[in-house]
Amino acid sequence: MFSRVRNAKLSHGNDESVTILTDSLLLQRAAAGDETAFDTLFYRHYDRVYGLLYRLVGSRAEAEDLTQEVFVKLYKQFMRKRPFSSNPPPHKHNISGWLYRVATNLGYNAIRGRTRRWQRDTVLVPDPQGTPGAEHEVEGRERAAAVRAALSQMPQRDVQLLLLRQTGLSYAECAAACEVAPGSVGTLLRRAAENFREAYQTISGEQPPAADR
Amino acid sequence: MNQPNEEFQDVYDQLSALAPGSEDAPRSAAQMLASVKRAAAPRPNPIQNLIRSFNMTLSRRATAVSLLVVLLAVVLLSFPAVRAAASDFLGLFRVQKFATISVSPEQIAVLERMAEEGLTPGEFEIHAEPVEIGPAPNLSLAADAAGMPAVRTIGALGEPQEIRVMDGGSGTLTINLEGARAIVEAAGVDPLLLPDSLEGAEVNVTVYPSVQQMWADEVVMAQMPSPLVEYPGNVDTTVLGEALLRVLGTPADEARSIAQSIDWTSTLLLPIPQEAATYREVIVDGVSGVAFDSIDSSASGLLWQKDGIVYMLVGQDGIETLLGLAQSLR
C-alpha cells in the first residue's frame, strides 16, 4: 500500500523518508469520505489529464471543461455511497487507467460533437500579417493541425495509446487506460506509430524526421 | 514520469506540437478543484427548491425562527391526549394528518425578537443525519434499500428519470422548561400551562429512509414511512396545542377552538409564512391532504399521508396538474 521514498528535496536535506500514498490507497480513503485523499488524487493527476485533453481537443476552454467533467465523474463515482453499483470496490481500480480512459472517451465525444473540427482546423489558420513572431506561430499551428488531421484518421485506441505514452504514462498505465494486456502495449504502440507516420505523410506530404526507424 | 520509448521518438516529437503552451496553461489546480467540488455537489431537487422559496421570503434570522417554531410544534405535538398513569410511560406519535396555519409577517417579527433574546425550547441533538444513500436503478431496489414493502409511482409520467434513496435520521430534544415557558409567555400565554414535569423531558424523533423519483419538468415525488416520535406521556396536548397556536399568532379564542378540534396525537401542524406560500385542503389519493403554491409561482406541492406513508409531490405547473398526476398513482 505504501511506497517508502527517500527524497532529499522533500526532506529539506535531512535523511528522512517520505511516505507517499498510492493511488489505490488514496482512492480507498476517498471512498470512505476522506476529502483530503480526493484532493491529493486530484493534484496528482490534474496536469496530465488536462494535457491529454488539450492534445485531443486543441482548445484550452474545452479541455478545462472536460477536465472538470472527468474529476466530477471521479468524485461522484467514488466519493458517494453507491449501494446499487455493480462496480468493483475502489481498491480494485487502477485509478490512473480509469481517469485517462474516461478523459479519452470524453475528449472523443466532444470531438464527435463538433464534426469535422479537425479538418476545419487545418484551414482556419489566423492571418499572420503584422503579428510579431507570427511566422513561427503559424508554422506551429499548421504543424499541429496536420498532426490532428493525421490522428483523426486513426483508430481511437491508437491515438489514445500514442497520446498517453507521449504524455508520460507508463506501459502499465497505458494498458489500464486502453483496457489491453500490459504485454501487448509495445506491439500496439509500434503499430499505432506506423499508422501515424503513414497518415501524417499523406496529409503533409512529408515524413516525420525519423529517429530510430 | 516514464520517458517514451525512443523507438517512436519521431512520432512523439510530432505529437508534441499538440502539447499546451504557456498561453494554454489551465486555471490553477486549486481553482479547478473548487469547481469540481461545486459541480459534484448534489443538485437541489424541486422539493429543496420549494423549501428554499419558502425561506427566501424570510430573513436568515427569521428562517432560524421558523425552524424553531417547527421544532416547538414537534415538541408540543408529541404528547398524547390522554394522561398516562406512569410518568415514564413512552407514547408513540406518527403523522397521519396535516394541519396548516398561516404565520403573518408581524408574527414572524415577534418570533425574530424571541430568537434575538436567545429563547429556545431545549437542546436538539442529532444522532444520525439523513444522508443520501445513492441513486437506485429501479423502484424495486429502491424499496429494498429504503426498507419499504413497495414504492408507488406516477403512472402517467412513465419511468422516472432518476430514483434516489435517502437514509433515515434521528435526534433527541431535551426540553428546557425555562426556555419553553419564556417562548410561551412572550406570545402572551400563561407560562404555567407548561407543567414542571416537562423539564429535562426527552423527545426522540426518528425519520425513516425515503425514496424520491424525478421526472422531466422537475416533477418530483417523495415517499417515506410516517416519522416516529417517542415521548413521555403526561401532558395535556390540547392545552399545549393552544399555546402553540398562540405562539404562531392565532387569537386566543380562535386558538382554543382550533386546539380542541385537532387530534394532536396524530396531526402535524405546518406553520406557513404568509409571504412564502398559499395553501388549501385538497382530496388527493382518496385522502385529505394539503396543497400549496409558493408566492413566486415557482413551485407547487401536495402533501398527504396514506397507509402509514407520507407522500410529497412537487412540480412547477400548478396544483391542478399535480392533482391530475396523483390520479395515476400506482
For A110-165, how does the pLDDT look when each residue is reduced to its tens digit (9 = 90+)?
887 665 444 444 433 333 344 445 566 667 778 888 888 888 889 988 999 999 99
Does the pLDDT of residue A91 top 50, yes or no? no
A117 vs A170 pLDDT, higher one? A170
How far apart (Å, rounded) are the C-alpha atoms in residues A208 and A199? 11
With CB atoms and an 8 Å threshold, state whether B10 touches A47: no
Closest residue of A to B131, CA-based? A81
Cβ–Cβ under 8 Å, residues B134 and A83: yes
Chain B closest-CA separation from residue A71 CA (Å)? 6
How far apart (Å, rounded) are the C-alpha atoms in residues B62 and B64? 5
Chain A closest-CA separation from residue B28 CA (Å)? 10
Q: Which is nearest to B36 in space by CA: A88, A77, A24?
A: A77
Closest residue of B to A148, CA-based? B18
Percent of chain A predicted with pLDDT > 90:
23
Looking at residue A92, the DSSP 8-state letter turns out to be G
How far apart (Å, rounded) are the C-alpha atoms in residues B307 and A143? 71
Range with the lowest mean pLDDT among B7-21, B127-141, B312-326? B127-141
Cβ–Cβ under 8 Å, residues B11 and A197: yes
Cβ–Cβ under 8 Å, residues B69 and B111: yes
Does the pLDDT of residue B55 top 80, yes or no? no
pLDDT (0 to 100) of residue B120? 75
Q: What's the angle, vertex CA B147, arms to CA B144 and CA B153, rounded to 5? A: 65
**ipTM passes above 0.90:** no
A-B CB pairs within 8 A amount to 133
- pLDDT band for position B57 (cuts 50, 70, 90): very low
Does the pLDDT of residue B310 top 70, yes or no? yes
How far apart (Å, rounded) are the C-alpha atoms in residues A167 and A51? 7
Of A68, A147, A189, the CB nearest to B14: A147
Of A47, A71, A212, the CB nearest to B6: A212
Distances in Å between the Cα of B300 and the Cα atoms of A36, B169, B315 are: 40, 26, 6
Distances in Å between the Cα of B312 and the Cα atoms of B198, B291, B316 are: 33, 10, 14
A39 vs B237 pLDDT, higher one? A39
Residues with Cβ < 8 Å from A122, sequence gap 6 or more? A142, A145, A146, A148, A149, A203
Q: What is the mean pLDDT of residues A180-193?
A: 91
- What is the total residue count of chain A? 213
Of A147, A189, A197, the CB nearest to B18: A147
With CB atoms and an 8 Å threshold, state whether B7 touches A190: yes
Does the pLDDT of residue B91 top 70, yes or no? no
Per-residue pLDDT of A196-209, as tens digits, reads 999 988 887 766 55
How far apart (Å, rounded) are the C-alpha atoms in residues B232 and B170? 17
pLDDT (0 to 100) of residue A132? 47
Q: What is the mean pLDDT of residues B122-131?
A: 75
Of A63, A168, A186, the CB nearest to B1: A168
How far apart (Å, rounded) are the C-alpha atoms in residues B153 and B313? 11
Query: pTM (2 decimals)?
Result: 0.51
With CB atoms and an 8 Å threshold, state whether A166 touches B9: no
With CB atoms and an 8 Å threshold, state whether B2 touches A79: no
Percent of chain A predicted with pLDDT > 70:
68
